[in-house]
Structure 1
């Protein structure tokens, strides 16, 4: 889809230039105007059929190919993800509800996502259950025709702004800890839910604690089967890990470096420029791994090992490229406005990269999953 992809990239870049402030650095800064700009940008994308391109038309998409959606994904991440928190609903909450939700759940939740009107958060990790998610302690105990959910989640991105939570809780004690887990779709406006922000270098909205104090849920809130939440979680992680095109942001910043530095670029040590070149090669490797996953995903063939291999490559790229870029800007003239903007982008990238090998499953867990997959295949 060469010419088609080029035209789509041009359309998206024009929208970014027209719709977003010149100094836009993402939705989650200390300035509330940035979040407002991202929310409006999402609605603009939705109006032009660009937010959920690959979704079926019956759910608010336009039946575009997964490759067109990949172009959108790359351009958004290359430009500080101006969809803000909406990418979560677009990339995996919506597709998972399409796969496992009832017609009533699909009718309730999919149109607001497709229209860019709703933000979701993910209630997975807990203080004693991060990478070992199946050890979670949040419980849903039977109460009449529903359940009462009590427990704590942590590191919950966007919880302060989200309207809905994709919540994993234990509904029964079974022989294996992966059994007896259930997914609930719950409104964050319920008074039984309390959110406490966690300050971090990435700015507001990214990390939060969420407490559930006898949150009442019903059968209508259950996604899939009672006790079958773990299989849905595996589905979620396959969509989530391929849905974030970090390599696109790395590649754009690396390619921008010579232009931003101007004459100072030639003065950089040869060793540093060699590392810069190596990072561009690693960007291409991560991109090709992502494309392989997109192709497998389009056929319903993504396995945990496939996603883990990509995740390892792209998170290491995130951190390694950030270190190289930080060394490059240390040699730049910060009095030049263009260099100052580039420096701010690099520093923002470095801050985000610090958590990349921990979020969505630590890199150690990804290596374990990949090792198990390779051993099973041998």
Structure 2
């Protein structure tokens, strides 16, 4: 097995770094610490993603027939790693290229693809995902937001919570209940966020400006043409989408970059010679590389045309462990960096402390690993 990047892949990574170095403002690290969902960064991302699109770097892994460069899963991973290393200047639009676009291609009607794909491709459209609910969390099968078909429209009532980007998003990828069947009763609607009856409230948090919200739907009228897939098909569609989402956020790469910066600060201060510091740094580095290897194994499955199952949850949980370890290392050994002139480490810390919640709670990932990978019985024998 060859663990080296090809010359073309190395050139692609360098091309991305060069573009970011020449395009992002000089105060980017200070600017980006406010969070990817802050109004300022969201507005910046619309212009920045337009520049990426114009230079063939927004979705190079998409097929050429829908505007991409026809590159493969490894280039998709390189793109995500570089963007996260630089603090994700795409803001919430990483969702568009990682999973919303590919999901539209696979399951959308021709009218939906014609409407939404050009908007995504222009680099100016922001989505949010209406998944979690107050009493559901990551247990999507227990959601209660109800959509009732009334002629040629659905009437939607319910509430979502922890919804990233909802305050500034154009469209919501909304999970609703259309029957009482636990899984087969869930249906997806694509809902414009300016539809009457939608109320968005920001939830104050430690992770940055405007990152999470609760969203209320009060007799919201959605045309039946905005249904995505068939009624009851959401569980299949979300399974496809989440595999792309969980692997499309290489937090392990951001964590490793933050760890390297923290170690450099300790070396400058003459503090890295202590055994306790070096041992903990080594553990963090090992966890980051274990997470990288787990993610890369799944990328290779894609290259080989193999299905990806519960292994994506295993890779996701490895990444959570790495993120948490690095965040704790910085708090323990370089706490002053979070307040004194190290915006990159502050940015990482804000994102690291929610690593076990965003993109699916860590506990849910462990349940999936137990049932789908290890095939453990749900009840003790």
TM-score, with structure 1 as normaliser: 0.92
Pair 1:115 & 2:101 matched: no
CA distance in 1, matches of 2:268, 2:375: 53
Is the 2:186–2:234 contact (alpha carbons within 8 Å) kept by the matching residues of 1?
yes
**What is the DSSP-based 3-state SS (H/G/I as helix, E as strand, rest coil) of the residue aligned with 1:165?**
strand
1:75 is aligned to 2:82: yes
2:96 counterpart of 1:89: yes
Q: Which moved more, 1:40-49 or 1:16-25?
A: 16-25
1:48 to 31, 36, 55: 55
| CA apart distance, 1:374 | 3.0
Which residue of 290, 307, 311 maps to 1:306?
311
| Number of equivalenced pairs | 370
**1:321 counterpart residue number:** 326
Please report the RMSD computed on the Cα atoms of aligned residues, expressed in angstroms.
2.2
Identify the residue that residue 367 of structure 1 maps to in structure 2.
Answer: 366
- Alignment of 1:102 onto 2:109: yes
Structure 2: any 5+ residue segments left out of the alignment?
none
1:265, distance to aligned residue in structure 2 (A): 4.0
8 Å contact kept, 1:304–1:369: no
CA distances 1:198-251 after superposition (whole Å, capped 9, x unpaired): 110112221101111111122311111111111111111111111101011111
Where do 5+ consecutive residues of structure 1 fail to align?
none
Work out whether residues 167 and 210 of structure 2, in 8 Å CA contact, stay in contact via their aligned partners in 1. yes
Do structure 1's residue 35 and structure 2's residue 42 form an aligned pair? Answer: yes
Alignment of 1:239-254 (within 5 A): 239-254=244-259
The equivalent residue for 2:224 is: 219
Rounded to whole Å, the distance in 2 between the matches of 1:350 and 1:263 is: 21
Contact kept in structure 2, 1:238 and 1:302, CA below 8 Å: no
CA contact (8 A) 2:272 2:278 kept: no
**Partner residue in 2 for 1:185:** 190
Q: Is it true that 1:19 corresponds to 2:18 in the alignment?
A: no
- Please report how far the alpha carbon of residue 258 of structure 1 lies from its aligned counterpart in structure 2 after TM superposition: 3.8
Quote the Cα distance in structure 2 between the aligned partners of 1:132 and 1:76: 30
Note if contact 1:326-1:347 (Cα within 8 Å) is conserved in structure 2.
Answer: no
The superposition leaves residues 167-221 of structure 1 with CA deviations (integer Å, 9 ceiling, x where unpaired) of 00011123xx111110111111112211111110112221101111111122311
Please identify, of 261-270 and 187-196, the stretch whose mean Cα deviation from structure 2 is larger: 261-270
Judging changes above 3 Å, is the alpha-carbon distance between structure 1 residues 29 and 48 closer, same or farther for their aligned structure 2 residues?
Answer: closer
Determine the C-alpha separation between the residues in 1 that align with 2:209 and 2:268. Answer: 37
Give the counterpart of 1:3 among 7, 13, 35.
7
User: Could you tell me whether the CA contact under 8 Å between 1:171 and 1:227 is conserved in 2?
Assistant: yes
How far does residue 262 in structure 1 lie from its aligned partner after superposition?
A: 4.6
For 2:23 and 2:44, the matched residues in 1 are separated by: 8
Q: Secondary structure at the match of 2:215?
A: strand
Q: CA deviation at 1:111?
A: 1.4
Aligned to 2:202: 197
How far apart, CA to CA, are the structure 1 residues paired with 2:221 and 2:37?
A: 34
Go from structure 1 to structure 2 and tell me whether the alpha carbon gap of 1:34 and 1:136 turns closer, same or farther (over 3 Å shift).
closer
When residues 183 and 321 of structure 1 are mapped into structure 2, their CA distance, relative to the original with a 3 A threshold, is: same
